[in-house]
Structure 1
Amino acid sequence: MATPTRRLEKFRSAIHEFPRVVSTTQKLLRAAQLLDIPVFATTQLRDKLGETCPELGLDAPDGIQTKAHVDKSAFSMFVPELKKAFYELGEEKREVVVVGIESHICVTQTTLDLLREGHKVYVIADAVSSCNAQEVPVALARLRAEGAVVTTSESFLYECMGDAGIKEFKGVAGIVKEFNKATRENLEALSRPGQPKENDQNVVPSEYAA
């Protein structure tokens, strides 16, 4: 199992329900630590669009340590540097969890690349979004049709554990309980992406716009 993640600080005000996507990603990253799931991350044109948002604590001294944290210009995360680190875990086909932004661009192209390599890909519906909220359901429908598993963070975590008898269960269940209210609110907000809030700015950073 591996978890690629992508969050860019400069998109904070542009992405539909950005704080909710961050919240779900925090939950998944904490559970990944307990379940010993390797984490991979990318930034997109870091010098223009900024670092991964600090709330995730990626590669901080007391935070989540990634197997690779790569800057790129390609929209897919599966660039040569990250791909090299990914296959250093082994050549076997893997189950991969994809979260991040934007659903219809980087999430889609990363997922398609992983599917082409023969991996099973989970796209976490409450951990992806786009500047244009209406893009999200279209992207998720396409990825489901292409063979990805589109699911929720809680469903994925329980599928990943599989059995309440494993030693990690109590810790992961505690994280799920801690995020219970946030998960409910995040799903409610992100499952209706065609109805952005009035205060959603939906302005794409100029460095990223065509």
Structure 2
Amino acid sequence: MVVPAVEAELRARPGLASVLLCGIETQACILSTALDLLERGLDVHVVVDACSSRSQVDRLVALGRLRQSGAFLTTSESLILQLLRDAAHPRFRQVQQLIKEPAPDSGLLGLLGGPGVLPGEQ
């Protein structure tokens, strides 16, 4: 769902290579937006624990399709740490305090059958 306002932002950033997505209705908004961005040649990173749907089935099927389509699936903690790069970052200690406590269960692992398993994967 690359609407005109998003299209304008993309044109304003000709060197843009990657996009991070999170939001609601994974099976609609996130999926459509990701597919549009992938079609434009961008790397799309979907923050799975920051995406929701009205039903867990819709969410899981959409995440599977996103992965099959070439989107990178990640978690918020992993993404934050990748953006910092390493412990030498001046704000590493601050961020470490924010992610120190384990996040509440997002419901993904139990429904996925374990770590790293999405629908259709063996």
TM range (shorter): 0.7 to 0.9
What does residue range 44-123 of structure 1 map to in structure 2 within 5 Å? 76=1, 78-88=2-12, 90-123=13-46
Q: Do the aligned partners of 1:122 and 1:149 also contact (CA within 8 Å) in 2?
A: yes
Give the whole-Å Cα distance in 2 for the aligned partners of 1:145 and 1:119: 15
Q: Do the aligned partners of 1:136 and 1:193 also contact (CA within 8 Å) in 2?
A: no
For 2:84, the equivalent position in structure 1 comes to: 161
CA drift of 1:110 comes to 0.6
For 2:105, the equivalent position in structure 1 comes to: 186
In structure 2, list runs of 5 or more residues that go unmatched: 113-122
Q: Do the aligned partners of 1:103 and 1:136 also contact (CA within 8 Å) in 2?
A: yes
For 1:130, the equivalent position in structure 2 comes to: 53
Alignment match of 1:145 (pick from 68, 76, 80): 68
Q: Give the structure, 1 or 2, with the largest relative contact order (CA under 8 Å, sep 6 or more).
A: 1
In structure 1, list runs of 5 or more residues that go unmatched: 1-75, 195-210
By percentage of residues, which structure has more helix? 2
Give the whole-Å Cα distance in 2 for the aligned partners of 1:134 and 1:144: 16
Give the whole-Å Cα distance in 2 for the aligned partners of 1:193 and 1:96: 27
Give the whole-Å Cα distance in 2 for the aligned partners of 1:172 and 1:114: 29
CA drift of 1:176 comes to 1.4
TM-score with structure 2 setting the length: 0.80
Q: Do the aligned partners of 1:98 and 1:123 also contact (CA within 8 Å) in 2?
A: yes
Give the whole-Å Cα distance in 1 for the aligned partners of 2:18 and 2:80: 13
Deviations along 1:7-50, one digit per CA (max 9) or x if unpaired, are xxxxxxxxxxxxxxxxxxxxxxxxxxxxxxxxxxxxxxxxxxxx
Give the whole-Å Cα distance in 2 for the aligned partners of 1:113 and 1:82: 11
Give the whole-Å Cα distance in 2 for the aligned partners of 1:175 and 1:190: 22
Number of aligned positions between the proteins: 112
Deviations along 1:117-161, one digit per CA (max 9) or x if unpaired, are 111111111111111221111111110011101111111111222
The aligned amino acid for 1:162 is: R
Pairwise CA RMSD: 1.8
Give the whole-Å Cα distance in 2 for the aligned partners of 1:173 and 1:110: 31
Give the whole-Å Cα distance in 1 for the aligned partners of 2:95 and 2:17: 21
For 2:95, the equivalent position in structure 1 comes to: 172
**Percent of aligned pairs sharing the same letter:** 34
